[in-house]
Amino acid sequence: MAEPPLRPRRRFRQPSVIPGFGITFGYTLTCLGIIVLLPLAALVARASGLGLAGIWQVATDPRVASALRVSFGVSLLAALTASVFGFLIAWVLTRYRFPGRKLVDAVVDLPFALPTAVAGIALASLYAPNGLVGEQLAKLGIEAAYTPVGIYIAMVFIGLPFAVRTVQPLIEEIDKEIEEASATLGADRWHTLIKVVVPPLIPAVLTGFALAFARGVGEYGSIIFIAGNLPYVSEIAPLLIVIKLSEFDYGGACAIATIMLGISFVTLLAINLIQAWSRRRFGYV
């Protein structure tokens, strides 16, 4: 049997002795196509049927515009809160040793594990005017349930693990020698933290922020119970999609969904850019 001639041209796949590429690759593509790509393509097809003008028309409808403002605005605030406290929690969990640390660490993942509807009714009953926390807030003149404050609380709940878990591994990896070097060179602890420790963590903080933001914008189950869903006040964009669907207004539902998908792709792109920048600047993600 003659040896196959060596060809320098680039091929689709590097040769390998390991079998099974054809079947696993084919199976992967088939599943991906049927489960993910085909349905998403159906949305894109619907949306392009509406055209940019059609989508714009839906987006500028006062009720839709208000829902989009609530979803994006409150989610920004909630992601900011989650990032600040998430950083603090990640720092405490990696740097300090205290009794119950592992338990606290496990608790952080609760919003990942707890079904959103369960979180939703629990938050609603806690923050209702006669609820455990709602009663105290009412004394301070804060109405949480059935207002954007309630939406904010739910979004902080679901966004927090993203903020903690993106920063935590990087804090673990910090080489303490650079902190020692900084201290040896005369910097006090505060200066060391601000000038040496925090800068390399900024990309991870931004990534966590973006993930929490994207999750908050799309979130449905944990919000609708506490939000009260008053049009123009506490109605979120995902709920409006459900309402449009129940009215058989598929076009309206698709327009809102397309806007939300567009924003989440921009967020995804931003995360990738942050990570590419981080790789160039710090040598890791």
Q: How far is the CB of 224 from other proteins (least distance, A)?
A: 9
Copy the structure tokens of residue 48: 């392009």
**What burial class does residue 213 get, using C-beta atoms within 10 Å of its C-beta: 0-12 exposed, 13-18 middle, 19+ buried?**
buried
| 176 touches other proteins (CB under 8 A) | yes
Stretch that binds other proteins, among 55-63, 140-148, 165-173, 201-209 (CB under 8 A): 165-173
Range 61-72 burial, b when 16+ CB lie within 10 A, else e = beebebbbebbb
> Site residues for other proteins, window 91-130 (CB under 8 A)?
91-93, 95-96, 98, 102, 104-126
> Site residues for other proteins, window 19-38 (CB under 8 A)?
19-21, 23-25, 27-29, 31-32, 35-38
Q: How far apart are CA 227 and CA 116, in angstroms?
A: 14
- Contact criterion met (CB below 8 Å) for 168 and 93: yes
> Site residues for other proteins, window 198-217 (CB under 8 A)?
214, 217
Q: How far apart are CA 243 and CA 250, in angstroms?
A: 10
Q: How far is the CB of 172 from other proteins (least distance, A)?
A: 6
> Site residues for other proteins, window 30-89 (CB under 8 A)?
31-32, 35-40, 42-43, 45-46, 85, 88-89
Range 184-204 burial, b when 16+ CB lie within 10 A, else e = eeebeeeebeeebbeebbebb
CB closer to other proteins out of 232 and 265: 265
Phi-psi region of 97 (alpha: psi -120 to 50; beta: other; left: phi over 0): beta
CB closer to other proteins out of 133 and 202: 133
> Site residues for other proteins, window 123-142 (CB under 8 A)?
123-126, 132-133
Residue from 61, 138, 202, 218 touching other proteins (CB under 8 A): that is 218
Q: How far apart are CA 75 and CA 112, in angstroms?
A: 17
> Site residues for other proteins, window 248-277 (CB under 8 A)?
248, 250, 253-254, 257, 260-261, 264-265, 267-268
